[in-house]
């Protein structure tokens, strides 16, 4: 009896549905074994405590699951069923819940078990075991935090999204403008740019992670920040944990490319689920930013901190 998870896409894609996979791992009979196939650094799935089995390129990225002898292969990509993905307006917890509901049905039928997924997608917001982070990296983070213990912290996931879900700019001009206005705050960016502001910092310099995969460390740092600015990308996803999204002392701002088929923005983990932290979704019309986009970005950043 074996379940092998597979995903052809990016780090955030693996992370978003993690709690659904972990529930299966907890509730399957003790004789069941697990593994993961993906194209990302092994570190991304270390939290599962299952073998990394290499890449999934021999499997079809659009097939929700495969059955072979006593093994069930489960596709964890949230767009593996395009009809479900479109029905809910893209990548959000409602899409994930229905995708995984079908996966649970496949597991129950294939292994003759009865695992209940429940009705509330918010129960499956991600949680992270920060004990997996290497102690020297944690020490680097706390050394930085100790130096800035009196400053409110703004974490900006200003990286270029890999799936065109927001704008591509590194936000340098926006960040420098708000940094000049709010000099008592510190601004921590995940994407480096050249700047001479002494209250702008970069996660690379803080964490000093050497493998090129520091999303869990960025998430850990996020637990000590008051403000979050994101683009619905990988770093944003790792910071939008159940703990952070239900902390009333934190504020979230997300710039998301608007799907013209819907009046509201639906492609967000926080879309239409119950959370406690203030969370605002701001529409972006053009990945290269038009004038209206630029005005909206600047306006909303100042509102966030004002």
Residue range 260-282, pLDDT digits in tens:
777 788 889 999 999 999 999 99
Q: Which of 43, 75, 72, 78 is nearest to 59 (CA)?
A: 75
pLDDT in tens, 212-251: 789 999 999 999 999 999 998 888 999 999 999 999 999 9
Between the CA of residue 51 and those of 9, 46, 48, what are the distances in Å?
18, 8, 9
pLDDT in tens, 84-132: 999 998 889 999 999 999 999 999 999 999 999 999 999 999 999 999 8
Pairwise CA distance, residues 290 & 272, whole Å: 28
Q: Which of 147, 94, 123, 133 is nearest to 23 (CA)?
A: 123
For position 149, what pLDDT does the model report? 93
Once rounded to an integer, what is the mean pLDDT over residues 284-296?
A: 92
For position 213, what pLDDT does the model report? 87
Q: What token pair was written down for 189?
A: 């960016």
pLDDT band per the 50, 70, 90 thresholds, residue 21: very high
State the DSSP H helix or E strand holding residue 74, giving kind and residue range, or none if neither. strand 71-75
Please state at what angle helix 18-27 crosses helix 93-111, rounded to 10 degrees: 20
Domains of the chain: 2-124 (no CATH), 130-305 (3.40.50)
Q: What token pair was written down for 47?
A: 């939290």
User: How many Cβ atoms are within 10 Å of 58's Cβ, its own excluded?
Assistant: 8
pLDDT at 259 over 80: no
Q: H helices of 132-264, where?
A: 135-147, 172-181, 203-207, 215-222, 234-239, 242-245
For position 166, what pLDDT does the model report? 84
pLDDT in tens, 134-162: 999 999 999 999 999 999 999 999 988 87
Average pLDDT taken over every residue of the chain: 93
Q: H helices of 159-199, where?
A: 172-181
Q: Judge residue 88's burial from the number of C-beta atoms within 10 Å of its C-beta, 0-12 exposed, 13-18 middle, 19 or more buried.
A: buried
For position 258, what pLDDT does the model report? 80
State the DSSP H helix or E strand holding residue 26, giving kind and residue range, or none if neither. helix 18-27
pLDDT at 163 over 90: no
Does residue 126 contact residue 241 with C-beta atoms inside 8 Å? Answer: yes
User: How many Cβ atoms are within 10 Å of 298's Cβ, its own excluded?
Assistant: 14
pLDDT band per the 50, 70, 90 thresholds, residue 210: confident
Backbone angles phi, psi at 221, to 5 degrees: -60, -35
For position 186, what pLDDT does the model report? 97
pLDDT in tens, 192-209: 999 999 999 999 999 998
Provide the 8-state DSSP code for 10: -
Q: Which stretch of 19-23, 142-146, 163-167, 242-246 has the lowest confidence by average pLDDT? A: 163-167
């Amino acid at each position: 009896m074996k379940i092998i998870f597979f995903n052809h896409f990016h780090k955030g894609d693996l992370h978003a549905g993690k709690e659904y996979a972990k529930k299966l791992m907890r509730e399957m009979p003790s004789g069941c074994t697990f593994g993961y196939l993906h194209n990302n650094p092994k570190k991304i799935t270390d939290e599962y405590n299952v073998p990394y089995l290499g890449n999934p390129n021999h499997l079809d990225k659009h097939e929700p699951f495969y059955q072979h002898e006593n093994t069930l292969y489960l596709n964890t990509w949230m767009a593996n069923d395009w009809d479900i993905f479109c029905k809910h307006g893209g990548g959000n917890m409602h899409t994930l819940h229905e995708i995984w509901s079908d996966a649970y049905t496949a597991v129950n039928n294939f292994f003759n078990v009865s695992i209940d997924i429940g009705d509330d997608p918010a129960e499956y917001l991600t949680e992270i075991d920060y004990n997996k982070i290497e102690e020297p990296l944690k020490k680097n983070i706390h050394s930085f935090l100790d130096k800035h213990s009196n400053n409110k912290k703004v974490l900006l996931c200003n990286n270029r999204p890999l799936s065109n879900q927001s704008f591509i700019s590194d936000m340098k001009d926006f960040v420098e403008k708000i940094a000049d206005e709010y000099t008592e705050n510190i601004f921590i960016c995940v994407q480096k740019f050249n700047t001479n502001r002494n209250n702008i910092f970069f996660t690379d310099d803080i964490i000093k992670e050497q493998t090129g995969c520091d999303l869990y460390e960025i998430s850990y740092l996020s637990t000590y920040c008051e403000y979050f600015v994101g683009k619905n990308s990988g770093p944003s996803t790792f910071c939008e944990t159940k703990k952070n999204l239900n902390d009333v002392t934190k504020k979230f701002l997300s710039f998301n490319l608007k799907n013209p088929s819907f009046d509201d923005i639906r492609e967000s983990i926080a879309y239409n689920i119950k959370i406690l932290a203030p969370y605002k979704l701001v529409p972006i019309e053009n990945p290269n930013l038009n004038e209206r986009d630029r005005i909206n970005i600047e306006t909303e950043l100042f509102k966030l901190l004002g």
